[in-house]
Structure 1
Amino acid sequence: MNSVHSLEEIQTTINESKLTLLYISRPDCSVCRGLLPQVKELLYEFPSVVSIHVDADEIPEIAGEYSIFTVPVVLVFVEGKEMIRKARFVPIGELRKQLEKVAEFMQ
């Protein structure tokens, strides 16, 4: 999972990739720190998914750009369009099933 440091980097990655997972967190968020390793592990099952990580404290304008009200947030984009949104408590099993459907559709 690559860390990005600007809205431009985020937009470029989303627009240039067929399937993108955007993980938004804050350093002081214990839920974020617990979820990140689970999301990273899940992504090994989906090599076609380009994944990026953003620190919401570093890019505060991300909240307005993506209508973020809490962290962590997992957003999945398909060809530049948001298809999946999970926030705060992210059930990994549910996210896996949704990614499977999207990845299968994209093949």
Structure 2
Amino acid sequence: MEKLQTIQEVTTFVRENHLVFLYVSQEDCSVCHVLQPKLTELLKKYPEIELREVEAHKVKEISAEYLIFSAPTMLFFVDGKEYIREGKFVQFKKLDAQIEHIYSHTKDSA
């Protein structure tokens, strides 16, 4: 998964892409390391979604800019607007259904 290194990269990425998924992780977070491959696999179903990781310990401004208080945090944006926010205890079937609903509607309107 490609990583964004600065808050400027993050905000530009969110602003300039139609469908964006940010995965915010922490260095010593075992849950982060377990969920990341599951998320990567899930998003293979949605090829138009751009996925990037942000390491919160390296991009400290991410917490203030996106109100992130724990890791992992998963954020899904459509045209710069946040639609989904998930944290540590992610139910992937529910997340998949939410993404599918939004994804199908954005493809219909595109």
TM-score by length of 2: 0.94
Residues of 1 paired with 2:10 and 2:64: CA distance?
14
Q: Which residue of 2 aligns with 1:76?
A: 76
Query: Percent identity, aligned pairs only?
Result: 38
State the superposition RMSD in angstroms: 0.7
TM-score calculated relative to the size of structure 1? 0.97
User: Which sections of structure 1, spanning at least 5 residues, go unmatched?
Assistant: none
Q: Return the offset for 1:92.
A: 1.0
Partner of 1:55: 55
Q: Equivalent residues in 2 for 1:84-99 (5 A)?
A: 84-99=84-99
Specify the SS of the correspondent of 1:23.
Answer: strand
- Return the alpha-carbon distance in structure 1 between the equivalents of residues 10 and 26 of structure 2: 16
Is 1:106–2:106 an aligned residue pair? yes
1:33: how far off?
Answer: 0.4
1:29 has 2:14 as partner: no
**1:50, CA displacement in angstroms?**
0.5
Structure 2 match to 1:46: 46
How far apart, CA to CA, are the structure 1 residues paired with 2:105 and 2:11? 23
